Amino acid sequence: MTEFEARIRTLQLFPVSLIPTTPEIVIPPRCNPGQQEHASRCFSITDSISKWKEAREDCQRHGGDLAVVQDMEDQKFLTNFTYQFKQNHLSGQVFHAAWIGLTDEKTENSFVWVNNKALQSSVTFWSKGEPNNFIATWDKEENGQDCVGIVPPDDFGAERWLFNWDDITCVGGRHYVCESKAVVS
């Protein structure tokens, strides 16, 4: 059936008055409820906290991985995303950081993303004085800090607001940001 024939058939089947003049265009969502789309990827942040490795496993169980900052637009998005989360969901609660998919657990001070890409200096957003691989007094094995989280700024748009990464001990409990590919229909 040609498109023309199909239209004629529709007109035969339905009274003209019932055919909407402006057909509603329904675009199916590319991300699941609770996720936010950015750059053809779906991002979510957890209410619960986990150690970095368990956070990563949870993201993978849901078909994704911890979030990767590929460029400045990603960093802007994730800063805004974690900032909004902190404002909207955690008033009165302490929000330290949200894990992202960056670690130097294999080789100290050699940071690698979960997609196995090395950290590029041009796409690096450390907070002042970070990464410092701080070794806590309880850290008997002196593992230091090998997993990276975004610490959202207190003020949106504050000076250096994009520079908010901190290396944190991997066994610390943090919220975490997962990403997965947006479903292209």
State the residues that interact with Ca ion by CB under 5 A.
104, 130, 132-134, 144-146, 166-167
Q: How far is the CB of 85 from Ca ion (least distance, A)?
A: 21
Q: Hey, is 92 helix, strand or coil?
A: coil
> In this complex, which beta carbon is closest to Ca ion, that of residue 30 or of residue 135?
135
Q: Hey, is 15 helix, strand or coil?
A: coil
Q: How far is the CB of 66 from Ca ion (least distance, A)?
A: 16
> In this complex, which beta carbon is closest to Ca ion, that of residue 30 or of residue 51?
51
Helices and strands, counts by H and E, the chain = 3, 8
Please, what's the b/e burial string for 89-101 (b: 16 or more CB within 10 A of its CB; e: otherwise)?
A: eeeeeebebbbbb
Helices marked H in 62-128: 72-89
Give the pair of three-digit tokens for residue 132.
């410092």
> In this complex, which beta carbon is closest to Ca ion, that of residue 57 or of residue 139?
139
Please state, in angstroms and rounded to a whole number, the distance separating the CA atoms of residues 99 and 172: 10
Strand partners, 175: 98
> In this complex, which beta carbon is closest to Ca ion, that of residue 134 or of residue 163?
134
Q: How far is the CB of 58 from Ca ion (least distance, A)?
A: 22
Q: How far is the CB of 114 from Ca ion (least distance, A)?
A: 16
Q: How far is the CB of 34 from Ca ion (least distance, A)?
A: 30
> In this complex, which beta carbon is closest to Ca ion, that of residue 70 or of residue 133?
133
